[in-house]
Amino acid sequence: MANQEENLFKNVIAHAKEYGFVFQSSEIYDGLSAVYDYGQNGAELKNNIKEYWWKFMTMLHENIVGIDAAIFMHPTTWKASGHVDAFNDPMIDNKDSKKRYRADQLIEGYIEKLEEKIEKEVEKAAKRFENFDRSMFVSTNARVVEYQKKIDEVNDKLKEAMGSGNMEAMKQLIIDLEIADPVSGSRNWTDVRQFNLMFSTEMGSVADDANKIYLRPETAQGIFVNFLNVQKTGRMKIPFGIAQIGKAFRNEIVARQFIFRMREFEQMEMQFFVKPGEEMKWYEHWKEKRIKWHKALGLGEENYRFHDHLNLAHYANAACDIQFDFPMGFRELEGIHSRTDFDLKSHEKYSGKKLQYFDPETNQNYIPYVVETSIGLDRMFLAVLSSSYKEEKLADGSERVVLRIPAPLAPNKVAILPLTKKDGLPEKAQEIMNSLKFHVRCFYEEKDAIGKRYRRQDAVGTPYCVTVDHQTLQDNTVTIRHRDSMEQERVPVDSLKATLTAACSVNNILERI
């Protein structure tokens, strides 16, 4: 991370704590690594993101329904899904710095550097030549061709080592590429070891292996094991989807990037069941739908890009990420995976129960194929928070920190502020608040000068402030101040409800998709 980005990230993290968005878990005991709590404003923002996702999935699509499955599942679930045997990350330690890394990420970092070099060459050439043809350039420029050859070679070796679980080959690759510890610069590495990411515990009073169960590492399996329950009771016809929001747990090896990579986090997943052979059509369909959902929020179209997976997971026949430009650069925000019939087929095998769909159109039974969209709620939270965070210099020379959170996602929609604490203004302000609080989330405050109160609302992202002054008592009008433009206008109290509910409803954004 460049210095400027590192500082920005630090400021966002400090701001999140100072204004009640995110706290380190168990902070009074010095915290628990990679576990976080959401504060009073964070919980609201998180709920609003959930609402935006849940409504999009289950209200805008008549063939998608939502469920809420338990975190604990029968342990065979995780045998069938492949998690017991294959949900491993390769881990490596540096003997000098004592830092631990994911071996595959060290190698991917090497590839990323080569990709950056290619981009630099392309940028330089694009400035030099008129009618610049990118594909022509990258296929003919000797240096770029060399970089690309190296990338392909390393990718192939990484894929081979990951696929076969060959940890010695992985270590050899790190040595051959002369990859150094980013912290100490040392190349003194331990062997690479496989590390299973699932947390386990025992169910019941007897602690032995037979009672071992897992905290789910993804919400998807709760959907798969309920596939027939939902299909039958909901009389669902293929294609149809099942959506779910819930906690997931992974004992991540490296968890250093605030809420980007946590050990306890929340996922919003949707499994879409389709006719075998039609999965690629639906994969493309969901790629397009999901990117539209993101872009409709207005966080900046340039902040998103697709990234195709080269190393496909054991269950997938196509997969990509939607990446977001976080303060530490473009990283995965959401995964879109064509999971074939792997999960349902495997659950059929392990449970001995048929998990098939009877297609009334063709009079055939089949195991559906699945296209999954899976987004981390906490990463979405970080995307909203980090892209909304602005340090601004104002025309009068002063500065402010403002969270330009899209109004429907903001923790509070309106702050009701009596200009002074006397002359009946607080009573009038309370009366206005009482008329609005059923419709939009309000915040009331009467302490400090009005300018100071505006700044505090800017810092938590409240899109509107309503100021009640002496004129209000005479003509029932108030000043409404807009967070982003800082403009103020005089409006009748009676117009507030309609204006605010319209501007702050999630439906507003959903209509744009």
User: By C-beta, is 51 or 332 nearer to ligand ATP?
Assistant: 332
Residue 246 as a binder of ligand ATP (CB under 6 A): the answer is no
User: By C-beta, is 378 or 458 nearer to ligand ATP?
Assistant: 378
User: By C-beta, is 307 or 400 nearer to ligand ATP?
Assistant: 307
Site for ligand ATP in 189-208 (CB under 6 A): none
The 8-class DSSP code of residue 94 comes to: B
Cβ-count burial 66-80 (b if 16+ within 10 Å, e if not): bbebeeebebebbeb
At residue 43, what is the residue type? A
Least spacing, CB of residue 369 vs ligand ATP, in Å:
18
The length of the chain in residues reads 513
Q: Quick check: 90 and 194 in contact, CB under 8 A?
A: yes
Least spacing, CB of residue 479 vs ligand ATP, in Å:
41
What are the φ/ψ torsions at residue 480 (nearest 5 degrees)?
A: -110, 130
Least spacing, CB of residue 451 vs ligand ATP, in Å:
38
CA 458, CA 455: separation in Å to the nearest integer? Answer: 5
Which residue's structure tokens are 């699932």?
198
User: By C-beta, is 65 or 220 nearer to ligand ATP?
Assistant: 220
User: By C-beta, is 252 or 348 nearer to ligand ATP?
Assistant: 252
> Counting Cβ atoms within 10 Å, is residue 343 exposed (0-12), middle (13-18) or buried (19+)?
buried
Least spacing, CB of residue 203 vs ligand ATP, in Å:
24
User: By C-beta, is 327 or 418 nearer to ligand ATP?
Assistant: 327
Q: What binding mask, one character per residue, do residues 206-225 give for ligand ATP by CB under 6 A, x or -?
A: ------------x-------
Least spacing, CB of residue 174 vs ligand ATP, in Å:
19
- What would the two tokens of residue 111 be? 């590839």
Among positions 5, 284, 332, 445, the unique one binding ligand ATP when judged by CB under 6 A: 332
State the Cα angle at 150 between 148 and 153, rounded to 5°: 110
Least spacing, CB of residue 395 vs ligand ATP, in Å:
39
Site for ligand ATP in 251-270 (CB under 6 A): 252, 261-262, 265, 267
User: By C-beta, is 381 or 454 nearer to ligand ATP?
Assistant: 381
Least spacing, CB of residue 81 vs ligand ATP, in Å:
12
Site for ligand ATP in 57-96 (CB under 6 A): none
- What would the two tokens of residue 486 be? 């800082």
- For ligand ATP (CB under 6 A), the number of binding residues is 16
CA 112, CA 50: separation in Å to the nearest integer? Answer: 32
Residue 378 as a binder of ligand ATP (CB under 6 A): the answer is yes
Q: Quick check: 266 and 353 in contact, CB under 8 A?
A: no
Among positions 241, 335, 406, 411, the unique one binding ligand ATP when judged by CB under 6 A: 335
- What would the two tokens of residue 490 be? 């005089």
Stretch that binds ligand ATP, among 152-160, 375-383, 388-396, 465-473 (CB under 6 A): 375-383
CA 126, CA 178: separation in Å to the nearest integer? Answer: 32
CA 357, CA 365: separation in Å to the nearest integer? Answer: 5
Residue 99: closest CA among 179, 183, 218: 183
Residue 44 as a binder of ligand ATP (CB under 6 A): the answer is no
Stretch that binds ligand ATP, among 126-134, 370-378, 383-391, 499-507 (CB under 6 A): 370-378
Least spacing, CB of residue 474 vs ligand ATP, in Å:
53
At residue 318, the 3 state secondary structure works out as strand
Among positions 374, 387, 457, 467, the unique one binding ligand ATP when judged by CB under 6 A: 374
User: By C-beta, is 73 or 401 nearer to ligand ATP?
Assistant: 73
Least spacing, CB of residue 104 vs ligand ATP, in Å:
9
Stretch that binds ligand ATP, among 71-79, 114-122, 330-338, 473-481 (CB under 6 A): 330-338
CA 306, CA 322: separation in Å to the nearest integer? Answer: 5
Residue 333 as a binder of ligand ATP (CB under 6 A): the answer is yes
Stretch that binds ligand ATP, among 51-59, 327-335, 349-357, 406-414 (CB under 6 A): 327-335
Q: Quick check: 483 and 457 in contact, CB under 8 A?
A: yes
Residue 376 as a binder of ligand ATP (CB under 6 A): the answer is yes
Site for ligand ATP in 97-116 (CB under 6 A): none
The 8-class DSSP code of residue 203 comes to: -
Residue 239: closest CA among 201, 271, 211: 271
Cα dihedral 416, 418, 423, 426, rounded to 10, equals: 40
Q: Quick check: 225 and 355 in contact, CB under 8 A?
A: no
User: By C-beta, is 244 or 374 nearer to ligand ATP?
Assistant: 374
HEC assignment per residue over 406-417: CHHHCCCCEEEE
Among positions 93, 181, 334, 341, the unique one binding ligand ATP when judged by CB under 6 A: 334
Least spacing, CB of residue 269 vs ligand ATP, in Å:
7
Tell me the β-bridge partners of 488.
Answer: 481
| Helical segments of 29-141, H only | 40-58, 76-80, 83-86, 103-128, 134-140
Residue of closest CB approach to ligand ATP? 376
CA 367, CA 279: separation in Å to the nearest integer? Answer: 13
CA 398, CA 450: separation in Å to the nearest integer? Answer: 16
Name the site residues for ligand ATP (rule: CB under 6 A): 218, 250, 252, 261-262, 265, 267, 332-335, 374-376, 378-379
